[in-house]
Amino acid sequence: MRRFDAGLRAVVLWDEAWCVRFNHVVAIPWLGAFFRAVSRLGDGVAWYVLMAALLAVHGAAAVPAVLHMAAVAIAGIAVYKWLKSRTSRPRPYEIQSAIQQGANALDRFSFPSGHTLHALSFSIVVIAYYPAIAWLVAPFALLVAASRLVLGLHYPTDVLAGAAIGAAIAVTSFLLV
């Protein structure tokens, strides 16, 4: 049990240290503003615009991709809300005085990162249907994930868990289609 406790403590220390490192970026005014904008777009705005753009450009041919994105969104919301209610992990800025809150949180708890979960699940789905836009979607998903760290809203493990859960939801969704 001591080995487990020591391992867990090492992960917590790693998580806190990297959270502080990422969060220093928010103190640079133009970078803080950039990551706040990315985070805001990651609230859903960018994904809704992408769905509308796909429908506008591809018409009825885009309906399967858009419905698939909507389905992973619903699954993602259910999973992350359930996990957040079970883990109740406080946000980094609530625990660490060295971490500056760079934007308002959409909900109370930190684990997992819902923004990252959705960014990965949407990206995987849309890239499967439209690989030509991977150059746009993949970097945006990475920026959304980074924004959560820079803004002090999540720990790295929250973001990694969100990415893994989002990827798992997307991959599983293709097995069900």
In the chain, what are the domains?
2-176 (1.10.606.20)
Asked whether the beta carbons of 101 and 148 are under 8 A apart, the reply is no
- Distance from C-alpha of 74 to C-alpha of 24, rounded to nearest angstrom: 34
Q: In tens digits, what is the pLDDT along the chain, a chain of 177 residues?
A: 677 677 778 888 888 888 898 999 999 999 999 999 999 999 989 999 999 999 999 999 999 999 999 999 999 999 989 998 898 889 999 988 889 888 888 888 889 999 999 999 999 999 999 999 999 999 999 999 999 999 999 999 999 999 999 999 999 999 987
Asked whether the beta carbons of 135 and 72 are under 8 A apart, the reply is no
Asked whether the beta carbons of 39 and 145 are under 8 A apart, the reply is no
- Cβ atoms < 10 Å from Cβ of 42: 24
pTM (predicted TM-score): 0.91
